[in-house]
Structure formats: structure tokens, C-alpha cells
Amino acid sequence: MKIISYNVNGIRASMNKNLTGWLVNEKPDILCLQELKAQPDQFDTYLFEMEGYHCYWYPAQKKGYSGVAILSKQKPDNVVYGMQNPLYDDEGRMVRVDIGDVSFISLYLPSGTSGDERQSFKMDFCRFYSGYIENLLKERPKLVISGDINICHHPIDIHDPIGNKKSSGFLPEEREWLTSFLEIGLVDSFRHKNPEKVKYSWWTMRFGPRIREQNKGWRIDYQFVSSALADKIDEADILNDAYHSDHCPVMLELDV
């Protein structure tokens, strides 16, 4: 099973850059999208359905903001929108599908870059989410969490760890949370398969495309696999040749 996660930074803009053509070539069994920035009636969802995908869109209530989705070749047995917490669900942060005994989540964790209030919101979300997933693992032990976590875990995951030590996304408390999150029974699939490889999944556009050309990036997009599936990881990679967004896709192949 091939799973791809992609923060498209606006699905309408990415579709204008031939996102659907890229999807036809990649042929993932499951595609997890983040940061839709659109309601389903604002773009042509049929283009995805025409390729054989069952589509589950979960936009934010605020138009032009956040939102996640899962597209699956196989029709799920169950779909869960949100976490039954309006504080976070109104922002369209998570959707889950269950296929057999395996569950797949598309997650968009908040960013804290806009100031102290959103950084505090981000950390509150992180604490809530740890408890949510810890409980979910008791019910659904075979779990894949795919998405934009907005945190670099280790110095190898960011081009300038010293210069960014006080930046949201690489703060000590964020990195400590991510360590504790994995300790509840999750594996970072890319780092599991590539312990020393330096690859990034996001580049700031603040200074134009040259930052990506110089590969001054951050690895903030992940596919976490529960311990019950860790031995099923065949391959994990970051697809740096996709240019529909300021992020690029992350790919996981599971033998399930």
C-alpha cells in the first residue's frame, strides 16, 4: 500500500499547477492532504473521483483556511471527521478513515509562527492530541498518522538548527513534545528507514524560490506508524521533485 501525504498550501492553487496530473503518475492508494484553504464546492472534486478515489474532505469553518482530506482507492469501512473537540475541529485539523483493521489519519497541526497566542494554542493542541492518540491506539492499534506537524524533531531535520533554536517549529518544548508523542507507540517512518539522510519537506517562500533552490529547508511533514505496523514499513521517502506547494509530498509504502 502506497500512502502519500501532501500539504498543498491551497488546493485550488496546486490544481492550477497540475496536481491531478501528478496524482495520476504517482498512483497512491491513499492520499492525505493538508491546508486545503477551500470548501469542496470551490474546486472540481470530480477530477479526483474520476481517478477512482473515494474523497473525504474536512475543511475549516473559516473559508480560505486550513482543512484536511483523505482520498482512498479502497472505500473505507468507517470515516471519522475531527476529534469531537470544537475548539480544534472548527479549524479542520484531522480526518480518519478505517480500512479493515488499519486506520489512516490526515493531520494538520497548528503553526505557532504568528505570535504567542497561536504558539500557546499549538502547544495546547499537542497536549490534547497526545491523549487522543494514546486512547485511539487502544481501540485501533494499527494506525498511520500522515501530515504537517509543523515541528522539526532533530538538528538533522532543519538546515540551520543554531540560527532557528528560538523559532517556532524548532523550540525545545515542541521537540520534547514530539519525542514524548512517539514514545506512546509511534515510529517516524522516514527516519526509521533513513537514519542519516538529510531531506526536507518545506521551504519558506518569504525570500522567493531561491531558498528551495539552495535547499534551506525544514522537515516538518511526517508519516508516523504505530508500533504494531513498524515491521510493515517497506519504504519511506520525501518526494522533492513535486512543486505544487511550498511543501513537497512525503511517501510511505506499507506491506499490509
| Contact between 156 and 194 (Cβ < 8 Å) | no
Catalytic residue positions, numbered? 148
216 phi/psi in degrees, rounded to 5: -90, 75
Cell of 141: 492499534
Q: 238 pairs with which residues across the strands? A: 250
Residue 158 DSSP one-character state:
B
Give the ranges where 143-227 is alpha helix by DSSP (H): 172-182, 189-193, 210-213
Place of cell 498512483: 27
| Contact between 100 and 77 (Cβ < 8 Å) | yes
